[in-house]
Amino acid sequence: GVLTFLPQIALLFFFLSLLEDSGYMSRAAFIMDRALRRFGLSGKAFIPMLMGFGCSVPAIMGARTMENEKDRRMTILLVPFMSCSAKLPVYGLISAAFFGPWAGLVVFGLYIIGMIVGIASGLFFKRTLFAGEPAPFVLELPPYRLPSVGNMLTHVWQKVKGFLVKAGTLILLMSMVLWLLQSFDFSLRMVDDPTHSMLGALGNVLAPLFAPCGFGFWQAAVALLTGLIAKEMVVSSLSMFYGFSLTAASGEVAAAMAGFSPLSAFAMLVFILLYVPCVAAVSTLFKEMQSRKWAWFSIAWQMGCAYVVSFLVYQIGSLFL
């Protein structure tokens, strides 16, 4: 089911590779310098943030080319708000189930919301934690060149191969672990009702936290927890907990997730968009921040933004729907 979105993910990496190989990426950073300075960022932040739409790990690592520590840390703080490709299967599954022909517009809106929250965070940081002007923009511009089809295809294959390996190993392994935790209680007795399983008990503890956001269900709470390992895990977790096939029609998925309304489904998508990235990205964040204090602040800021924005989406939406 996750592999259904492989063509879109490959296309995303293809266009990123095209921009990089043509020499346009550096020029785009130079062009964006003036606009980004309004938000307290250097033009050099444009490249890591654009890479963030592919994967947060290389995007966060890309910030190490920035000489100024303030600019580097601020860029790392904002990169996770650029929606990575691993979230696309989650968007596709839920938006198709609850929004039908408007699913594409909903997914596009999520990308826009991520950028808006990133910009708003940048403006806030510019006036508080990172007050002052960004470092002067100095960057050697490579000449324009015709991209090598071979290099581009190799780059795309490496990214797609990494996605396939993760889908075929980590996600499969974690799905097996989740099945065991869903099938047994803490006394290691098999249960018929997943609500009484180990996962159900954990989810029931976490679910009330998300009730004000519209998705206070144990299945959703545990799915979000597994998303910390890999965002694709949210799809397989929801499929397992709600009992629908990943190849099921959109109507069947919506029927299985009967507790959700379109509004609560959208609020959950907003939370998934903004909350903490996968464990690989978090590990990279700790390394590149070079400060545990800043790394934990980044995690707290992302979780806070995710909760507040999804809460506002659901509560304000409830006034009109």
pLDDT at 213 over 90: yes
Please report which confidence band the pLDDT of residue 136 belongs to, taking 50, 70 and 90 as the band edges.
Answer: low
The per-residue pLDDT for range 50-77, each reduced to its tens digit, is 888 888 888 887 787 777 788 889 999 9
Above 80 in pLDDT, residue 141? no
The mean pLDDT of 270-285, rounded to a whole number, is: 90
- Average pLDDT (253-271) is 93
Of 205, 209, 178, 182, nearest in space to 271 by CA:
209
pLDDT of amino acid 135? 60
Distances (CA, A) of 20 to 48, 266, 321: 12, 33, 44
pTM over 0.95: no
Q: Which residue shows structure tokens 């396939």? A: 164
Give DSSP secondary structure letters for 233-302: HHHHHHHHHHT--TTS-HHHHHHHTTT--HHHHHHHHHHHHHS---HHHHHHHHHHH--HHHHHHHHHHH
Task: Work out the average pLDDT over 251-264.
Answer: 91
Residue 68 corresponds to which amino acid? N
Determine how many CB atoms are found less than 10 A away from the CB of residue 139.
Answer: 15
For residue 133, pLDDT beyond 60 = yes
CA distance 253 to 260: 11
Q: Mean pLDDT over all residues of the chain? A: 84
Rounded Cα distance between 245 and 5, Å, is 15
Query: In the predicted model, is pLDDT for residue 13 greater than 90?
Result: no
